[in-house]
Amino acid sequence: MARLVVVSNRIADPRKTAAGGLAVALAEVLNNTGGMWFGWSGKILEQPGESDGDVKLQQAGAVKLATIDLTREDHDAYYLGYSNGVLWPVFHYRLDLADFDAGYIAGYRRVNQLFARKLAPLLKDDDIIWVQDYHLIPLAAELRALGCNQRIGFFLHIPLPPPLILAAIPGHDWLIRALFAYDLAGFQSKADHSHFSEYVRSEAHAQDLGEGRWRAFNRTLQAGAYPIGIDVEEFVGLTEAPEGREMYERMKREYSRRKLLVGVDRLDYSKGLPHRMRAFRELLARNPETHNSATLIQIASPSREDVSAYSDILHELESLCGSINGNFGELDWMPVRYMHRTVARARLPGLYRASRVALVTPLRDGMNLVAKEFIAAQDPENPGVLVLSRFAGAAEQLREALLVNPYDTEGTASAIHLALQMPLEERKTRHQALMKTIQKYDVHWWCASFLDTLAQARSEESGTPWL
Ligand code: ADP
Ligand code: F6P
């Protein structure tokens, strides 16, 4: 059987906790399939000109981890600059936050070339290569330029915006052309896939071969939607494991007189945390009966703190939490418990299960795995309610959640109120349907459906270095 080689910027030891959908999902996939995981070590070298060091190899269970370090200059231009200062905001529809510094793209290209140079010698002819996310869009083109003819697939974990927004990126045509070096490009939702189709039809004048196949730049590319899922069985197992149960009991004891609401996110402006807090404040302002009877636990793990938009959102969130507690709190009741940290993965299921409501209200999100984890952790006999942004990719699948527009403070507050009061029978009916969906479209389905398509998809030409 062909070996699976996954390539991503962020990699994680599959045996340890990680925050971020990509690392969590791929750790689960690779634990099952085995193979190699190639990426950045997380280490930054302060001396210039050091990026050309050796690849570090380490066996982690069934997975071989292969990592490289980055110099400060490369890291800042490629990761902070182009990936998270240009692609992340624009792909999340936030043109106002994009920093189109002309120097970033050279760093982005340099690191993609470095990845290709370091990865190519480790590859076998029949490897299946699966490249992940926006940091590495040009990687296949760079590998092809080095003569790699393996099948290469690409999956975008974040949203793809409509062509008019994408076109705000200087060099957007270069990025999309680079996608044609892959044999298969996967997106999180039907909406993202249709944005891609619109773009290649109107901007790249690609020929539509039907069934998601496109011809352009002397290549044929298969594209489609492959919504990512979670390992439901593993998550249910964690819920029932001693640490999961202990956390559940602890939360139930601590909040025995109150209904718990929960939010778990990376601290990212795309997650809509200030909007969420304003909706919660509106709920408290309009519904005095919620005072002393509802508590929101918000856990926000530190993320990309060297990008200024992230420190701005941190201050806004802290100030909102402080003012809600200041205005509504009592001597024996804090409406919001806010923690700026990552929680051990084994403790999340107990927290989810003890919560009556989950607030998953991003302004824009590729998928959002927290929504699916919350569903998996519920007690089917007394489940909680998912309040979900219609702008999360997950909303295309999770139709039985309470869907909200997070920009609409009053509307979101009303939905939270409804969720807190929802009768048991309705909670059960909704939960059953949601559970069925996440079980059917779990992480194994995601992986198998992408890789099965990749096994069939083959561009008619290969090895064309056109970048
Ligand atoms: P993203 O990939 O943008 O971070 P997702 O919701 O898709 O968003 O995935 C986040 C993953 O990281 C989930 O598996 C979630 O449990 C985990 N995670 C997010 N925030 C935290 C946190 N504060 N503590 C622990 N795990 C977290
Ligand atoms: O899931 C989206 C994603 O951007 C991943 O690509 C990334 O690994 C994760 O969020 C966490 O972000 P970062 O790697 O920048 O810490």
- ipTM value: 0.97
- Please name which ligand lies nearest the alpha carbon of 11: 2
Residues 439, 262: Cα–Cα separation, whole Å:
22
- Residue 33 pLDDT: 83
- C-alpha distances out from residue 261 to 204, 250, 254, Å: 46, 15, 14
Beta-strand relationship, 213-216 and 219-225:
antiparallel
Task: Assess whether the C-beta atom of 75 lies below 6 angstroms from ligand 2.
Answer: no
Q: How many C-beta atoms lie closer than 10 Å to residue 245's C-beta? A: 14
Q: Does residue 343 contact residue 299 with C-beta atoms inside 8 Å?
A: yes
Task: Assess whether the C-beta atom of 227 lies below 6 angstroms from ligand 1.
Answer: no
Report phi then psi at 110, rounded to 5: -60, -45
174 CA distance to ligand 1 middle (Å): 31
Instruction: Among 11, 41, 90, 133, say which to mutate for ligand 2: greatest number of ligand atoms within 8 Å of CB.
Output: 133
List the end-to-end C-alpha distance of the chain, in Å, as a whole number. 32
pLDDT tens digits in sequence order for the chain, 467 residues long: 789 999 999 988 766 666 566 777 788 788 888 899 999 999 999 876 666 678 999 998 889 999 999 999 999 999 999 999 999 999 999 999 999 999 999 999 999 999 999 999 999 999 999 999 999 999 999 999 999 999 999 999 999 999 999 999 999 999 999 999 999 999 999 999 999 999 999 999 999 999 999 999 999 999 999 999 999 999 999 999 999 999 999 999 999 999 999 999 999 999 999 999 999 999 999 999 999 999 999 999 999 998 989 988 999 999 999 999 999 999 999 999 999 999 998 999 999 999 999 999 999 999 999 999 999 999 999 999 999 999 999 999 999 999 999 999 999 999 999 999 999 999 999 999 999 999 999 999 999 999 999 998 877 665 454 56
Find where tokens 């459906």 sit: 449
